[in-house]
Structure 1
């Protein structure tokens, strides 16, 4: 295997959002000739991302660890847990919410790749340099 094909998490930046983090291992913009995207998503306990669509790509989610609620299209949401795979057709509303006490970890793929670029424009987006760990902040509460 060529060193260009190796995509170690410690060598990749981390995308940070209010709800969690993403490490994009393979994208068309970072891997020569790549036509799809693959990343690891971590959704913090009690958090989730807003309902959204990917207009030009199908998405597949594979749950590595944790438990959550997933919506796809007009459904009310269904439980997801480790080992589950979810297919989200292009141009279909969807969201993921962590209902467990530990991080919800997923593998996300886009076919064709490139949809991840839109996330960089979100107001809560921050990119951390490779090797920099995100800091989880607890929200202010009354107890």
Structure 2
């Protein structure tokens, strides 16, 4: 099954955006989640955890400060991968002026549904382009 960016909705938040290409609710038979995350310059994900799933982050481009399991923060850059065990607290902050592009997976899938409860969550239908505005 081929999935293009125009085939899937976009989730936007004050910190950036996500396109989930594969999810258990979006792709029949899928048991994991796979998507692209963009973290805007100077933004990030506050400390959080996924009690029911492990997460893998792959850095496509950019640089960020990553924390896993309340350990010492470290720098992640293009080509790096980070494994976050099930239930581990973690955060990602893009402290640079360039966008951070990540590929993210959850195993098992489904953890992406929790993001819909975020107060800054907005859903943009497949085929539409979100518009960013200055505050």
TM-score range relative to shorter protein? over 0.9
> Which structure: larger Rg?
1
How do residues 5-84 of structure 1 correspond to structure 2 at under 5 angstroms?
5-84=1-80
Q: Deviations over 1:75-121 (max 9, x none)?
A: 23100110000000010000111122111000000000010011011
Offset at residue 133 of structure 1 (A): 1.6
Offset at residue 137 of structure 1 (A): 2.6
1:135 corresponds, among 125, 128, 131, to 131
What TM-score does the superposition give when structure 2 sets the normalisation length?
0.96
Structure whose residues are more often strand by fraction: 2
**Runs of 5+ unmatched residues, structure 1:** none
Q: Deviations over 1:31-78 (max 9, x none)?
A: 000000000000000000111000000000000000100010122310
CA-based RMSD: 0.9
Find the aligned partners of 2:74 and 2:131 in 1 and give their Cα distance: 30
Find the aligned partners of 1:81 and 1:100 in 2 and give their Cα distance: 11
What TM-score does the superposition give when structure 1 sets the normalisation length?
0.91
Regions of 4+ moved over 6 Å? none
Offset at residue 19 of structure 1 (A): 0.3
Say how many residue pairs are matched: 135
